[in-house]
Each structure stands twice: as structure tokens, then as C-alpha cells.
Amino acid sequence: MSNSLAIAAVTATLRDLLLRAAQPLPGDPSSDTELADLTVTTRTPDKARTAEDRNQLNIFLYQTAANAALRNRAPGRPGETAHPPLALSLYYLVTAYGRGGEELLGHRLLGRAMSIMHDQGNLLPSDIKLSLPGNDLHLQLERVRIAPHHLSSEEMSKLWTLFQTQYRLSMVYEASVVLIDSIRPAKAPLPVLARGSSSDAGVAVQPFLVAPFPGITALLAPNGQPAARLGVGATPGDVLAIRGTQLTGSSVRVELAHRHLAAPHSLTPLAGSQATELRVQLPTASPSWPAGLYSLSVVVGREDRPEATTNALPLALAPRILSIAPNPAPRDGSGNVTLTVTCSPEVWPEQRVSLLVGDAEVRAEPHPDKTGTLTFLLEPAPVGQHLVRLRVDGVDSLLVDYSATPPAFDPSQRVTIS
């Protein structure tokens, strides 16, 4: 999901793509320079033509519509109340103008433009990032796809009639999906400490067959805390147990990939590994290991065959709140409180960070550099003693002490507001 610059970012990216039509495409004559003076504009069709002595492409956003597939998607995680993101489909009109009103040049331009749009398919995150400063659409998990959008002759006629200008041969494209974050904070209830009776062990699953190739089935964090759910996870320094099949060989390594890392981290399993279980220790807090969701897999090498990579399971590396200041925190004359949270590991500038105070979510103040100190403004601040969680890229700090029987809330993760 992204900020309010998302629509402009898509338009700017498409404009930059169409500028490539100034150069010959594969299969065009290499000496072709007739289209080298191309300019690309983003004006309304009635004001698009800027100079008759230049070749020109104009791309105009003529309609935005709610995306039917994602508009009703439930936001957040089960049990949380949040406003859904704004899901949009964007519709663009691409028109070509040849130098001096020459239609043949316009047709050549339109052919190049359509070829570029056809081959692109998805807007690349790198192109989106460079197209418009300040936009974060490139961080959106869903790709922005470009596809031709058919309009009947009647619909096209009505469209050009709205602009009160003469019809030009054009092509219509749909860009979807664009997700814009809601600025309304989410409500996040506290987690359930236990379910059922003390003898309730949950569902037991027994596979019928053992696969002949390496695979992993479960990740176990210390004290039985779930390590593969977004809400909770392992912390730096924890020892993970990786269960699966065929996990031994001449060389074994564990790889953890994160969307902010250029290459995955590799870890060597601890001594005593077995074919059905590996144990690996996460490094202590390090700036190169950001909190958030990782994809964990095991690479097994054997002398008689190439390396094999297992399936991947999600591992949530949770941040840790080291201190909260001031605590207790007095409210100012307007009923507000500013809290400074020291955390580990350091938070990266691209990461989304919020503090959950009780069941209310508060976004962090901007942090342009990697930092372990974050500031949160609570306005108004609720009076009383509150449990707190730090949420980094959707992963919460551990609020529950799973080593206790039954599990209990960690008393150090509290703040008193007076």
C-alpha cells in the first residue's frame, strides 16, 4: 500500500516509459531518427497539442474507479478493526501526434507506444521509485498491471465529445491495482493468553508419506511462542527449531530473505542437526537484520546431486522495546503525551512503524535514517496504565511471556499516563 502520491506516481511512470518511443525498438531500422524529437505530455486532449513542429504522445488520466476485486478486502489481521485501503483502477487515453500533422508519423509513434506498453505488463518498482520523489508505491506488494481497455465506438465518441475537440486515433489502457493507505488508525485488541483447558493441545496432524526431497513443515521458537504468524514471532538471539524431512547432507545452510535486503542472510545450523530437525540461532540485534517478515528456507547439498532448496515458511522477527520515556508520562495542557521508545533492532527509514497503546494505534514520527529511538505523539492520551506493543512492518514486539505457565503479559511492556 502507498501514500496519496500513488496516482501521480503511476502517471509519471507511464510518461517515462513512453519517452522510450523516441528510440528505435528491436526490429526497427537502426538509422530511423524521424521520431527522435518525441515529447510526452499529460494534458487533456483539447489542450494536448503543444507544437506542430514536434512528434508528440499525450497520456491523459480520464477516469478513476474503485477496484472491484480489492475494495471489500478485510484490512489488518483477524480481530482488528481498521479502515480498508483505497483500491483504485486508473484509465488512461494515449494519443499520438505526428510532426506537422503527418498522420503516418503519428501511426508510427502509436505503434511504438503500444509495443512498449504491451511488453511492460507490470510497472517495475525501480521505475516507479524514480518517477516521482516522495512516492512509496514501489513498496506495494501487489504489482501495478497495465492492460489494454476496450471501448466501443460509441463510448469512444462520447469520451472525445466531452473534450469538445476533434477525434484522434487513440488507445485506452487500465492500470490496476493502486492501493492508497487509510490515515485512520487501527484498533488492535490484546491477544488471547490461552484457549480451552490445560489439556487442550490443539490439532495433531500426521502426514501419510515422507517426501523424497528436502522440505520444512514447521518453525518453533523458544517457549513455544508461534514464529510463523504476523502478530508475534522470534526475537534476535533466539534459537529456532526447523522441522521437516531430508534435512541432512554434505552442506546445509538456512537462508532468510527480507524485502528490504538485496540478498538473503545465510546461517549455519547448530551442532546435533538431524534429518527431521535443524536448530539455528538468530544473531543478536544488528542493523543488517531489520525487524519484519522473513522468508525462511533450507538449502541442502549432497555429493551425489545438486543443491536442493526447500519450500519457504514465514518467520516474523519481532522488535524489542528496551525502554519507554517518560514513564510515568504526564499529559500536557492539551491532554497530549509524547513518548520516546528505544527499540532493538534499529528501524529502517522504509519501514512502517506504530505503537499500540492498549487497543489504539499511533504512527511514529518521521525517521529518515536507521534509528533505535522513535517518537510517538498521543493526542489525546488515555489516562491509566496501558500495555504497549511496537509494530514494525506488521510484526509486533512480544507482549506475552510464554515461558510462564499459564502465559502472562510481560510487566515491563507497560506505560502509565497521568
Q: Which range marks the domain in which residue 400 is found?
A: 320-417
* Under 8 Å between Cβ of 321 and 413: yes
Supply 191's cell numbers.
Answer: 491477544
How far is Cα 233 from Cα 315, in angstroms, rounded to an integer? Answer: 7
Ranking 115-129, 148-162, 222-236 by mean pLDDT, the lowest is: 222-236
Q: Are residues 324 and 301 in the same domain?
A: no
Q: With 90 as the cut, is the pLDDT of residue 329 above it?
A: yes
Q: Give the global pTM.
A: 0.58
Residue 152 in any domain: the answer is yes
Q: Are residues 172 and 247 in the same domain?
A: no
Number of structural domains in the chain: 3
Backbone dihedral angles phi then psi of residue 126, each to the nearest 5 degrees: -65, -40
Domain stop point among 127, 160, 180: 180
Supply 82's cell numbers.
Answer: 481498521
Q: How many CB atoms sit inside 10 A of residue 205's CB?
A: 7
How far is Cα 110 from Cα 106, in angstroms, rounded to an integer? Answer: 6
How far is Cα 381 from Cα 66, in angstroms, rounded to an integer? Answer: 35
Ranking 68-77, 103-112, 373-382 by mean pLDDT, the lowest is: 68-77
Q: Are residues 12 and 147 in the same domain?
A: yes
Q: What angle do CA 325, 331, 334 make, to 5 degrees?
A: 135
Q: Are residues 18 and 140 in the same domain?
A: yes
Q: Are residues 257 and 337 in the same domain?
A: no
Q: What angle do CA 395, 257, 291 make, to 5 degrees?
A: 30
Q: Are residues 305 and 373 in the same domain?
A: no
Q: Are residues 399 and 282 in the same domain?
A: no
How far is Cα 29 from Cα 305, in angstroms, rounded to an integer? Answer: 48
Q: Are residues 313 and 324 in the same domain?
A: no
Residue 153 in any domain: the answer is yes
Give the tens place of pLDDT for each residue, 132-150: 999 999 988 889 999 999 9
Q: Mean pLDDT in the chain?
A: 88
Domain stop point among 294, 317, 340: 317
Ranking 110-124, 175-189, 327-341 by mean pLDDT, the lowest is: 175-189
Residue 192 in any domain: the answer is no
Q: With 90 as the cut, is the pLDDT of residue 281 above it?
A: yes
Q: Are residues 114 and 252 in the same domain?
A: no
Give the tens place of pLDDT for each residue, 30-81: 777 889 999 999 999 999 998 899 999 999 999 999 988 776 666 666 667 7
Say if strands 414-417 and 86-97 run parallel, antiparallel, or are unpaired.
unpaired
Q: How confident is the model at residue 173 (pLDDT cuts 50, 70, 90)?
A: very high
Domain stop point among 317, 348, 381: 317
- Is 417 or 202 the better-scoring residue by pLDDT? 417
Q: Are residues 166 and 30 in the same domain?
A: yes
